[in-house]
Chains A and B, each alone.
Chain A
Amino acid sequence: MKPCNDVLVVDDDLDMVEVMELILHDAGYPTRTALNGKQALDAVAQAMPALILLDMLMPVMNGWEFARDFRARYGREVPIVVATAAEHVHSRGDAIDADDVLPKPFEVSDLLRLVARYVPSPQPAPSY
């Protein structure tokens, strides 16, 4: 499998996927998207991303199931950041042994700071 230096956004809400993709793209990060855990597993099978931004409540395959399958197949090779509007975001992150959490709604600056922590920025990010 070829490694890829992009960010994989996994969220079932198309508007959320679109705005995160827009923000990350503007900041210079190549981005791929998936609408559920199953699509995300297919995406990582093609190319391993540098970071996964993972929603938890999704149809077909939710965030917990994705994280369990992903960790079983690939270990801790790629950091996972839980991005969710659900309650107890920190304990949800702990439940899947996530590397970080991003509670929704989030500040764009927080999103970019988190991504920059795990993915080297290819170009200076605009200041939000």
Chain B
Amino acid sequence: MSDRAGDVVPGGTDPTALPDLTHRAYSAHRIAATVTAVFATAGVSWVFITDILLYRLTRDQVLIARVETTKGWLFISLASLLLYAVTFRSSARLDRVRRLTAAAVESIGDGVLLLGRNRTIAYANPAAARLLRCPSKVLVGMDASEFSRRFRVSYPSGALVPPDQYVSQRVYDEGGPLRYKAILHPPGGHDVVISVTAAGVRLQVGEPSTWVVSVMHDITAADRLDRIRDQFFAAAAHSLKTPVAIIKADVQALFPTETPADARVAASVARQCDRIDRMVQNLLVLARAHSQTLELRPSAMELRPLIERISGESTWSHRHDLHTEVTGALPLHADPDRLALAIRNLLYEASRLSPADSRLTLMAHLEGDRIAVGVRYQALPWHDDVGETYGEYDDIGIGRSVAQTIAESHGGSLTSEDSGSERTSWLHLPGDAGAHA
């Protein structure tokens, strides 16, 4: 084991012991008052006691004067030693905390930038210098505009992030911590995908940030894996859907010429093709939601034609009596494909969890500035045991989870409402009332 003499802090403090950084220490005023009080008490006691002893031992004024002078020098010497010891101990503690803090920040694998009150970089740790491929001394003093010119920070969409929109700048005004994903384009190197978290440092609650700590985590490899996974899922989904589409078209082509029994079988095959197709879409959405890469392609749309198209699909009327209740114009800004998947998932759930030949109602209407899409059905008695019966990852559970994800990614919600034996799943979505005005 190497000799770590260089780590020994003057004063003999154990260098391996962590300083208490998590609790509020005694205030500086209190420490200073205690030291001063001890010093004053000791000094007064010293003068008082030694004077009494001296005047009891002798009446010789010359001797008394000499002893008083010696006492004075002795007091100054002891006070100086005490002052030295107190100052040394405090300085050693401060130095130790400073060195430990600096060593901790320098050893962090993520890039750390410390920004001062003037919103420029005051400190950059070695990981930040490596990440940005720029020496720390060049980074120090850099403001957001210069940082933008040098590193061309962009959103994942490719749009440049305006310097005043950096989380390290916004956090001065908005509080924090704030987080976002961005791409750096350092000169002469590959792009770096980073997750940035910025937090303001305040000495008192309610005060503006005097410092900002910005931590840059390199997620380039993870981001690349996400992209590969996305491409894989998209390719796998496409590869699965194509044969399903062919099978479905083939069996439907048999309908007009075959016997009623064959037609029933063909219809069943077509329904199962739709089910596989829906499951493939659900798995794709779920995988992307988990990797936070779910993409919406919203457009201005009217909900009624979508509801009519879905309600016209033979899957829902096979064993149920499907009714639709759509009231008024329902303009919204949404991804039609994702929204259709969410509604189909709720209809599928209703068809699975209600008795055969019972009534399913697909509803849509305005509720204030929101659009409510509901699927009402007569719940089977064992409805509440669905989770235990099928498990969370049955296609019902996955379908509901996907419907919720799609609703929330549109700024909406998914809820359930029970009324006697009837249950209604509600998708609430932000309306777009001005769109068709």
Contact = CB atoms under 8 A, between A and B. Distances in A.
Interface of A: 13, 15-16, 19-20, 22-23, 26, 57, 85-91, 94, 103-108, 111, 126-128
Contacts of B242: 13, 16, 85, 104
Most buried by B among A19, A57, A87, A127: A87
B338 to A, nearest CB: 9
Contacts of B277: 105
A70 B226 CA distance: 35
B103 interface: no
Given A105-B274, A105-B277, A127-B256, A88 B297 contact: yes
Contacts of A20: 249
B238 interface: yes
A85 B235 CA distance: 10
B321 interface: no
Nearest to A111: B249
User: SS class of chain B's interface: helix, strand, loop or mixed?
Assistant: helix
A23 B253 contact: yes
A107 B266 CA distance: 13
Interface in B321-341: 335-337
B245 A105 contact: yes
Given A90-B299, A128-B256, A106 B249 contact: yes
Contact of A23 (B249, B313, B314, B337): B249
A105 B249 contact: yes
Contact of A16 (B237, B245, B297, B336): B245
Q: Which of B253, B273, B277, B335 has the most CB of A within 10 A?
A: B253
Contacts of B249: 16, 19-20, 23, 105-106, 108, 111
B253 A19 contact: yes
Given A16-B246, A19-B249, A106-B249, 20 more contacts: A15-B246, A16-B242, A20-B249, A23-B249, A85-B242, A86-B234, A87-B337, A88-B337, A90-B299, A91-B297, A104-B241, A105-B241, A105-B244, A105-B248, A106-B245, A106-B248, A107-B252, A108-B252, A108-B253, A128-B256
B322 to A, nearest CB: 16
Nearest to B244: A105
Contacts, number: 71
B433 interface: no
Given A19-B250, A91-B297, A105-B274, A126 B336 contact: no
B337 A89 contact: yes
Interface in B344-363: none
Interface string B221-259: 000000000000010011001111110111011011000
Contacts of A88: 295, 297, 335, 337
A91 B338 CA distance: 12
A26 B241 contact: no
B424 to A, nearest CB: 28
B131 interface: no
Contacts of B248: 105-106
Nearest to A108: B252
Given A19-B249, A108-B249, A103 B337 contact: yes
Interface in B246-283: 246, 248-250, 252-253, 255-256, 273-274, 277
B246 to A, nearest CB: 5
For A20, A104, A106, A111, the residue with the greatest tally of chain B CB atoms inside 10 Å of its CB is: A104
Nearest to A91: B297
A126 B257 CA distance: 10
Contacts of B129: none
